[in-house]
Chains A and B, each alone.
Chain A
């Protein structure tokens, strides 16, 4: 811990007007010291959380991060590589890539989180019904799930969009429904195990109402692995949404959206690598950060600290 704090102090000493003592005080305050120690022990987790915070800012207040209009096209500026003026370069229409990435964050995150919530809600409900209900309910639900599983996710999503029309909201619903089978199967398997667990029986002998058993023991414990799968799945949903945009069913073209940018950049892979590399990197970092934070959440839910 020592070397970190000295290092921070030295770098903070740079501007001569900064009073040294306040930095010291700040670093010596137990809270900050604890934060620094934590950051040193779990750099991945802290970096992941920081990246997610950045994404949240980008989704809610994109203008805080960039002043450039993501839709402003100018043929003269097309295909500039990363430079001081355009940090991440420009696309085929001369639009600033960084601005597009920042403004695209909200659509992508909405896609990922919205679809996950829809998939989770339906999946958990069906899975619990199948896992806890009588045999015929289980059979009915699980065969339905099997049918859903038989379709590739993207085809399922296309079918739903064909029925309901395109647009971001419908794409979210479509991708969400496409992920239902996986969650339902997992929750069902968990529920089947937990309903026979010794701690559920112990609670039964206390005289708990069956609904209380589900709410207090079965559901929270069944959700544990599902939540982890879901956090990791958000990234997958974002790319599934991207695939829909690529096919023209997601966010309409001029709007910045990571998946659409990725799909679009693919056409210029030979001469403008940054068009695919940076949206891809943003997506990858999102998935990694969500996984790191998701894992930590799970660890905490299991009662392990540090």
Chain B
């Protein structure tokens, strides 16, 4: 390992046997982890949500939280004992020597302050720069993180910026004082794939010989390019750590292998058909949903009109999965909402089952809604907060007209079984369930209506990559078993490729390309499609995907 360097650079951050627990709980959230970050190096901490990686990051900046008990044999930042830092010392360290980038850029930027003030704040606190010096420094910082027109952007408020720009602004404020250590907690998770790639590129460009980076993510593929070394965390422990290449090529621990498998299946880029079944062209499929020349525009608060969907036509055949891919703002969600009848198109019409939605009387519309059911991005928000799982799925059964207690109970269990949950989940509230389980409940509710079409709006993009893989497997399994057609929306072309029979690429309210998934990958026509393909996170080498086929057999049965 250290053949090239006779003397490894001094460690910037040393963590030995770090333990963190909360309140009176005996269970340690972080259970004795050790790692070292050296200057000029990027270490990635990878694991599922709940494994303790975020708590670790927050502990390192002295923000472990109320009631946290932190113990460590050694916890040193450039040789100083971090455990001895009091609040005043931390105030000098945070934002100055250690920069912290959080996942939720909108939540961590003050909505009332301009971006310029936000980025200038650490400078104001930690440097003797004058007001005008600070201002020019802010502009150069914004420019260095790739924000064009920094003078204008500095005067804007966070809500006026796109997600990618916000994340860049947040990074700018984290690096304002030239920190030795930059900690980034899921810096790209809430971003579109192409923006994600840009932000990763930016982070890569910020690392020099003098500083170090600790990046935290649930997705090995995302950090694979950036990190020199990877530490895999599971249940509060580091189960494996080593150079990125060896972790990717020869993972030792079974958990690392499962993470790799998940990343590979979700971001599948190989050309061989991932579904592996024969084309279904044999039977002349009936069209279940047809949209013709749909348009929809919204008025912005300042009176401007934004055309979200600008003339889209599509057909969904029985048993087919139609993938719609595009970045946020491309109009794909509006399109889906119109298909669901939640939004009325400005012009054009939607035919469901051969009948035009808008021409049906209201009562008939409500009956017809059964045919097309939705699975949303954030399942928790789609459940009434007062409801238990039984209430959520039961409500659908009530609408469907399942009345007797016995039939109801039987159907409930059957549905839960379909999505691989069991009776013990019935009395739970969705808030007590994991992200994957919540999405399973949402799917069960949709299935309760015996739908012909399942409309999925980014159903896995809020989930950990390992959970994503299992939910996608479940959806595919259900589609085949119940012969449901599917409208599937995602910003991730890798996911779309995995699930779709046909792909529509959407850009600025228009469909710019329509083809089979293989055609899209082998021979993309539109430059925007090429951009989306390049944005798919990959595990270092293409050959990993070939590897995938061999380990596919081990593919775990869903037990989220």
Contacts and interface: CB of A to CB of B under 8 A. Distances in A.
A302 B368 CA distance: 33
Main SS of chain A's interface residues?
helix
A206 B384 contact: no
B366 A202 contact: no
B366 A198 contact: no
A32 to B, nearest CB: 25
B25 interface: no
Interface stretch (B71-79, B350-358, B373-381, B409-417): B373-381
Given A207-B366, A207-B370, A202 B385 contact: no
B386 A206 contact: no
Contacts of B442: 202
Contacts of A217: 384
Given A207-B367, A221-B385, A302-B385, A202 B378 contact: no
B385 A205 contact: no
A303 B378 CA distance: 20
Contacts of A199: 381-385
Interface in B394-419: 395-396, 399
A93 interface: no
A199 B382 CA distance: 4
A137 interface: no
B253 interface: no
B187 to A, nearest CB: 26
A198 B438 CA distance: 14
B396 A206 contact: yes
B429 A202 contact: no
A20 interface: no
Given A198-B378, A303-B429, A303-B431, A205 B384 contact: no
A202 B399 contact: no
Contacts of B366: 207-209
Chain A CB within 10 A, most for which of B372, B382, B383:
B382
Nearest to A201: B342
A221 B369 contact: no
Contacts of B370: 206-207
Contacts of B373: 205-206
Contacts of B231: none
Contacts of A208: 366, 395, 399
Contacts of A204: 342, 369
B445 interface: yes
Nearest to B399: A206
A207 B382 contact: no
A220 interface: yes
Contacts of B449: 206-207
Given A221-B385, A301-B386, A302-B385, A203 B340 contact: no
A128 B366 CA distance: 23
Contacts of B384: 199, 203, 216-217, 220-221
B455 to A, nearest CB: 8
A204 B344 CA distance: 14
Chain B CB within 10 A, most for which of A197, A206, A209, A301:
A206
Contact of B386 (A197, A207, A209, A302): A302
B335 to A, nearest CB: 15
B369 A202 contact: no
Contacts of B399: 206-208
8 contacts: A197-B381, A201-B342, A204-B342, A205-B374, A207-B367, A220-B384, A302-B386, A303-B386
Given A198-B378, A205-B372, 9 more contacts: A199-B381, A199-B383, A199-B385, A206-B395, A206-B399, A208-B366, A221-B386, A301-B386, A303-B429
Interface of B: 340-342, 366-370, 372-374, 376, 378, 381-386, 388, 395-396, 399, 429, 431, 442, 445, 449
